[in-house]
Amino acid sequence: MNGQRTILDHIGNTSLLALCRIVPENGARILLKLESENPTGSMKDRMALAMIEAAERDGRLKPGGAVVEYTGGSTGVSLSLVCAVKGYPLHVVTSDAFSREKLDHMKILGARLQVVESESGRMTEKLTRDMIAAAGQVAQETGAFWTNQMKNRDQLAAYHAMAEEIWAQTEGRIDAFVQSVGTAASLRGIAEGLRRRSDRIRIAAVEPAESAVLSGGAPGAHKIDGIGAGYVVPLWQKDLADDIERVSTEDAVAMALRLAREEGIFAGTSTGANVVAALRMAERLGPDATIVTVMCDTGMKYLKGFGARLG
């Protein structure tokens, strides 16, 4: 790039916004990290850039190389952006279970898609494992660099940096952090970063009520994009979270619609789940508490899905 700035230089340093109308009855504050401000409208831009640049530095990804990943959408879109700017061909293994907008966005950015059929358009453990196997096969056959997001620890550095942003923006006045779990990288990285600053901060993980494997439940099908793989993911650690909140797809969707109609914040269903869990945490911690959670991505990635629910 000859030292020139690109769209990748605009990843991170997102705003932190207090909710005004969707607030706990006890008066606690809920702050939302607006990751929709990233170039693709998702927090996954952070981790995609971190994984690719780490592989470039240590030689796993060489000039002229290619990249492969399995993804429910947001990671794929973010990798598509990074690979487009850096000039790497990208092969994405994804599924019809995920939003059409995400799949189209990946293709627009130049990715090649391999679509694995789902069970009635729902996220299940089998679907996750089928996608992983397909990505591994592509990597083996083509020699492409497999970012392997479920196991890749290079992304944690991106979330350590995000924790530093949150600490600075709150001036250290944060009592709890709440985040939904997909690969567990964002929860783990941010939790580690915040606990380096203060060990009194409570951490809450959020998972689909229909597939509450982290809290000991059985795997099941759900429709909250990007979270709830259906099994305990490799980056998860038992001591990551003080609390694990189960949120149903129905409640997550309802809160996403409330955020749009009451706060003017159009976010996806994982954000809806985060806010439901943050409200619960706020009620437990009391009126003086400050809880930070994440707007994982923009609702523009889910227009057709929301439209179908509105009739």
Residues 181 and 303 in one domain: yes
Query: pLDDT category, 2, cuts 50, 70, 90?
Result: low
Q: What is the CATH number of the domain that holds 18?
A: 3.40.50.1100
Span 54-74, average pLDDT: 94
Residues 115 and 169 in one domain: no
Q: How far apart are the C-alpha atoms of 85 and 104, rounded to whole Å?
A: 18
Q: Do 29 and 18 contact (CB within 8 A), yes or no?
A: yes
For residue 150, what are its two tokens? Answer: 């479920």
Boundaries of domain holding 79: 44-146
Residues 61 and 36 in one domain: no
Residues 103 and 184 in one domain: no
Task: Indicate the residue among 114, 146, 178 that finishes a domain.
Answer: 146
Is residue 302 over pLDDT 90?
A: no
Structural domains in the chain (count)? 2
Dmax over CA atoms of the chain, in Å, equals 57
Residues 124 and 166 in one domain: no
pLDDT of residue 97: 86
Q: How far apart are the C-alpha atoms of 72 and 132, rounded to whole Å?
A: 11
Residues 219 and 123 in one domain: no
Residue 2 lies in a domain: no
| 199-242 pLDDT, tens digit each | 999 999 999 999 999 999 999 999 898 899 899 999 999 899 99
Catalytic one among 80, 186, 211, 270?
270
Residue 249 lies in a domain: yes
Residue 108 lies in a domain: yes
Query: pLDDT category, 301, cuts 50, 70, 90?
Result: confident
Q: How far apart are the C-alpha atoms of 183 and 74, rounded to whole Å?
A: 12
Residues 86 and 230 in one domain: no
Residue 153 lies in a domain: no
Residue 265 lies in a domain: yes
Residue 51 lies in a domain: yes
Residues 73 and 142 in one domain: yes
Residues 119 and 206 in one domain: no
Task: Indicate the residue among 84, 112, 146 that finishes a domain.
Answer: 146
| 137-193 pLDDT, tens digit each | 999 999 999 999 999 999 999 999 999 999 999 999 999 999 999 999 999 999 999
Instruction: Please work out, in degrees rounded to the nearest 5, the angle formed at the alpha carbon of residue 127 by the alpha carbons of 123 and 129.
Output: 130
Span 86-106, average pLDDT: 92
Residues 163 and 302 in one domain: yes
User: In the 8-state DSSP scheme, what is residue 42?
Assistant: B
Residue 217 lies in a domain: yes
Residues 217 and 278 in one domain: yes
Residues 96 and 228 in one domain: no
> What's the chain's length in residues?
311
Query: Which of 38, 36, 44 has the alpha carbon at shortest distance from 263?
Result: 36
Residue 1 lies in a domain: no
Q: Do 127 and 104 contact (CB within 8 A), yes or no?
A: no
Catalytic one among 44, 102, 223, 301?
44
Q: Which H or E run contains 202?
A: strand 202-208
Q: Do 226 and 187 contact (CB within 8 A), yes or no?
A: no
Q: Which residue has the tokens 């009635």?
A: 120
Task: Indicate the residue among 113, 146, 179 that finishes a domain.
Answer: 146
Active site annotation includes 270: yes
User: In the 8-state DSSP scheme, what is residue 226?
Assistant: T
